[in-house]
Chains A and B, each alone.
Chain A
Amino acid sequence: MNSIGSDELSFLLESTGWTLLLTAISFLAGGLIGGVIAILRLSRNRAVATVAILYIQVLQSVPVLMVLFLSYYGLALAGLELPPLLAASVSLGLYVSAYLAEIWRGSIEAVPYQQWEASASLALSPAQQYAYVVLPQAIRISLPPTVGFLVQLVKNTSIVSVVGFVELARAGQLLNNALFQPFRIFGAVAVIYFLICFPLSRLSRYLEKVFHAGRRH
């Protein structure tokens, strides 16, 4: 057997599922942490803000590959063996949190400071200002770059293949090792990535339009 049949295709599709699952887990976990870090980063308390800055700077300055090696091989050496999916999710989640924290910090800061003044002048507490005035506006601002980042993440999950996790890119490699049909196989892999990422990119542009439409005359 040396052509792509239904077995090979279903192997690719199954691996696509792992790519999507890994993307979803790391995006959600990273988003939760990133949201908290973004708000800490904007805290008026210097110490708190500094901790958040350090967190972001360190994670953005270290290749996600090293985080992955550390959490998979490093922890294993220390006696804590993480299953590949967990090691991959943790590493990508950390990476996602640092980038989303910065995207969202920027979005929060893009809300005019007069909105803070106006809501403070109406006796709202800081938590109420965030919840009812600033975050609803910041989320609109953040949606296009956030979805854009999600597209990057879908593609960057391929990095976890180095710890033996079989996602879409790794599945393509394995198939090619058996069949040696690089054009067909990697072409198919590329098409699958495209089919995931292209709609997301369109979504990002669509969101940008929708949210601007409500704010025009």
Chain B
Amino acid sequence: MPAVAIEDVHKSFGSVEVLKGISFSVDPSQTVAIIGRSGSGKSTLLRCINGLERFQSGRIEVAGHVVNQDPKRLRELRKDVGIVFQSYNLFPHLTVGQNIMLAPRLTKGVSKAEARALAERVLAQVGLSEKYDAYPDNLSGGQQQRVAIARSLAMQPKVMLFDEVTSALDPELTGEVLVVMERLAREGMTMLLVTHEMGFARSVAQVTVFMHQGRIWEYGPSRELFSAPRTDELRSFIKSDVK
């Protein structure tokens, strides 16, 4: 059974249709990259998967949960599906440790001691053990993003979504975040990421999806997709990235 199954999803903002029938699936432990120009609908698609955006028709099933707008079911789904955003979105009034422990404590009834151990473990995973007591504003963008990943990991998700998580970072900081993500992928996390990092998509994601004008334009093993694009749109997209 796939970890994420997307079937014929349509989504409009007003009269503008941004997703025009999207279908594909992600197997457990697979990493899938979604690439495409701004406005191609890739971020919207990702946000549909954890219910941040509604879609008009079609069906999405993720980690055994069918996506709908019932608040209670959505919360159950979100316990199993983590998301990391472009703008980190850490809670600025809480320390790094508190940021990480908040949701497990509130939504899973994890004890204080357990939560602390959990926080220390996920912080070690992203290489920031020493930042436990720091406030987000005292961290670099790359560090904040790694904390955001750790915060998601503390929920022990079955699927992780990454929404252009390095787009706000300079190349050096981008590198440190990508290292963390690559390690996660290798450890078997199921990951679906919207990205502009072509190199990363090519080397880490087993499968890449190229979206264009609200449709899946090309889909396939990353190596094939990048080395032998079949459509002009993908060819010119890849070319534009190189220069």
Which residue numbers of A lie inside 8 Å of B, CB to CB?
112, 114-115, 117-126, 128, 132-133, 136-137, 140, 214-217
Contacts and interface: CB of A to CB of B under 8 A. Distances in A.
B50 A121 contact: yes
Contacts of B89: 112, 114-115, 117-118
23 contacts: A114-B87, A115-B91, A117-B89, A118-B85, A118-B89, A118-B90, A118-B91, A121-B78, A121-B83, A122-B78, A122-B107, A122-B151, A122-B152, A123-B75, A123-B107, A124-B75, A124-B102, A125-B71, A128-B106, A132-B106, A136-B93, A137-B92, A215-B92
A140 to B, nearest CB: 7
A46 to B, nearest CB: 17
B194 to A, nearest CB: 15
B103 interface: yes
Given A115-B91, A132-B102, A123 B155 contact: yes
B138 interface: yes
Contacts of A120: 52, 78
Contacts of A117: 52, 85, 89
B59 interface: no
B107 A124 contact: yes
B93 A123 contact: no
Nearest to B76: A123
B93 A140 contact: yes
Contacts of A112: 89
Contacts of A132: 102, 106
A170 B141 CA distance: 58
B102 A122 contact: yes
Contact of A217 (B71, B78, B138): B138
A79 B80 CA distance: 62
A132 B152 CA distance: 17
Give the interface size bracket for B toward A.
20 to 34
Interface in B118-171: 135, 137-138, 151-152, 155
B93 A124 contact: no
A216 B136 CA distance: 10
A124 B103 contact: yes
Contacts of A217: 137-138
B202 interface: no
B103 A123 contact: yes
Contact of A122 (B103, B135, B137, B138): B103
A137 B93 contact: yes
Contacts of A119: 91, 103
Contacts of A118: 85, 89-91
Contacts of B102: 122, 124, 132-133
Nearest to A139: B93
B79 interface: yes
A11 B91 CA distance: 51
A184 to B, nearest CB: 49
Nearest to B81: A121
Interface string B56-99: 00000000000000010001101100110101011111000000
B64 to A, nearest CB: 15
